[in-house]
Structure formats: C-alpha cells, structure tokens
Structure 1
Amino acid sequence: MTTSTPAAPADAPAPTPAPAEGRALPIAEAASATGLSVHTLRYYERDGLMLGAVERAPSGHRRYSPGDLDWLRMVTRLRETGMSIEEIRQYAALVRAGAASTAERLELLREHRRRVLVELERVQEHLRAIDGKISLYESEVGFARA
C-alpha cells in the first residue's frame, strides 16, 4: 500500500527537480541528494519533522518526492543556522496547519533570522581578529625576507 505526500504548502521552497526528472527517490538516493544520512532521514520522519508521511513503495521502502527533498533542504538550512530540532518540529507543525498559521510561521522565522544575524556578527568579529593576525604575520614574514 502506498501513501501519497500532501501537496506542498504555499510557503514551501520552490521545487527543484530531483534526478531522473522529478521521480521519487529511494532513501539512499535521497540521502545523497540532500547531504543527510539515511539515519537522519529516518529520524526526521520518526520525530515529526517531515510535512507529511513519506511515500512508500509497494515493498514498503521509503520514496522521497521532490517536495520532500525541498523540505529536507529547508530543514537543513534551519539546522545549519542553529535552529533547534524542537523549533523545526514546531515550524513543521505550523506549515502542516496551513494558512491559519502563517503569522506564527512568520514570527518564528523572523526570530530565527534575528538570532542568525547576531551569530553572523559574532563570527564576523572573530574573522576580523583572525585577519588582523594574518596581516601581522604577513608583515613579519615580509620584513624577515627583505
């Protein structure tokens, strides 16, 4: 028995064709396409981070649609910018809730963006310090060679 994946909500990332013209991918190919491990894909599904049930082949194996892959890429962006699993779970639930939750999704993403900008400024400050050390060492090396 196969289940179908619900249509992607309006705020889901724009679809990008998966290999072989948008066909659903088995878990190993989906892992490769998203840069996530097979274990992580199973965990995300089990932990309620997916927007809907992942389609299953008649054999019972998972089949990831292009929409699933787009969502996984968004989840990856959120994780890589510091959003917690709990916040992503909350965001996924809000997306599943549809248009009635748009204001809450907006607020959640605005707050995350604010935190990302704070972290970005912190990292840029560190980078400036590293660049200063590089300049110092370059001038010392240049002076020693002259």
Structure 2
Amino acid sequence: MTIQDASRRSGLSEPTLRYYEDVGLVGPIARDDSSGHRRYDDRDLDSLQVLACLRAMGVGIEDMRTYQANRALGSAAAAEQRDLLLRHATRIEKEIQTLHVHLDYLGAKAALWDARDRGDAAGEAEARARVDEIVPSLQAVIR
C-alpha cells in the first residue's frame, strides 16, 4: 500500500510515517522498484497501528522503540513489556487524578459565579467553601 494508504489506515500523518522509519520505529519500508516510493505491507501497518495507539497514550519515542523491540522478542521480553505498559498506566492514572481536581475546581468556581449571578449569598458562601476545600489539592497537583 502507498504511504497515503498507510497514513489513512493508521491515523498517522505521512511526515510521521517517514519520521518513524527514519528513527527506526518501523521498517525499513520496501520501495517500489520503478518509482522508489514506499510500499507498506500488512506487517508494517500492524506496527504503525500499535505505534499510533502508543502515541495517543503519550508514550515517547524511546519507549516506543523498546516496545517494538520487545514485540520482536515475544515471550522472552514479556516481563519488560508488562513493566513498560504498567509504568505508562501509572502515569495516566496520575494524569486522570489531576484532571479530576481540575474538573472539581472548575465546577466549584462555576457554582460560585452562578450563585453570584442569581444573587444567592448562601449559595455563594457554600461554593466559596467548596473552592477553599479544593485549592490545596489543586496546589498539590500544580507542583
């Protein structure tokens, strides 16, 4: 398949496909004898789809490289593969916790402004108290 086909099917841009080949994450990709254009096969596409998923989860190039190398090793690298994925799962869990704090803060601040808009002094005081409860958690995730 052409680079355009591989891009469409993997969800990765053409420059990203070229870059991933340049840095050794995939390939070398076969070339058409007459034109020299890249020709991707199903195995290449499988690798690209794995890389697209890892990229979407915020996995960096070095860990992608390790992941790809471990895929080639199969069972012999299973423990390392597991540890790599769990390390990223832990990172994502922390990001989710941080986003929950952000969401709580935004909701509390919106409730405060809603109470002000309605002229509800008691609601405003309640919302202010909620904001004050959240601020230490917000400051902790900012650091």
Q: TM-score normalised to the size of structure 1?
A: 0.68
Task: Please give the alpha-carbon distance, in whole angstroms, between the structure 2 residues aligned to 1:87 and 1:128.
Answer: 32
Q: Which has the larger radius of gyration?
A: 2
- Alpha-carbon separation, structure 2, partners of 1:91 and 1:104: 9
> What's 1:74 paired with?
50
**Equivalent residue in structure 1 for 2:16, among 40, 55, 60:** 40
Structure 1 segment 1-146 matched on structure 2, within 5 A: 25-50=1-26, 52-58=27-33, 59-141=35-117, 143=118
What secondary structure, in the 3-state scheme, does the structure 2 residue paired with 1:82 have?
A: coil
Identity %: 39
Q: Which has the higher contact order (CA 8 A, sep 6+)?
A: 1
- Read off the aligned partner of 2:30 and give its amino acid letter: E
Output the CA distance in 1 between the equivalents of 2:77 and 2:45.
23
5+ unaligned residues in a row in structure 1: which ranges? 1-24
Using a 3 Å threshold, how does the CA distance of structure 1 residues 32 and 138 change in structure 2: closer, same or farther? farther
The answer for the alignment partner of 1:22 in structure 2 is none
- How far apart are the structure 2 equivalents of 1:67 and 1:134? 50
TM-score (normalised: structure 2): 0.69
SS of 1:60's equivalent in the other structure is coil
When structure 1 is superposed on structure 2, of 92-101 and 130-139 the one drifting more is: 130-139
In structure 1, C-alpha distance between the alignment counterparts of 2:43 and 2:80, rounded to whole Å: 22
Q: Which has the higher helix share?
A: 2
How far 1:102 moved relative to its partner? 1.4
Relative to 1, partners in 2 of residues 1:124 and 1:76: Cα closer, same or farther, differing over 3 Å? farther
Q: Cα RMSD between the aligned structures?
A: 2.1
Moved beyond 4 Å, runs of 4+:
none
Structure 1 SS opposite 2:94 = helix
Mapped partners of 1:140, 1:76: distance in 2? 46
Which residues of structure 2 form unaligned runs of 5+?
120-143
Count, aligned residues = 118
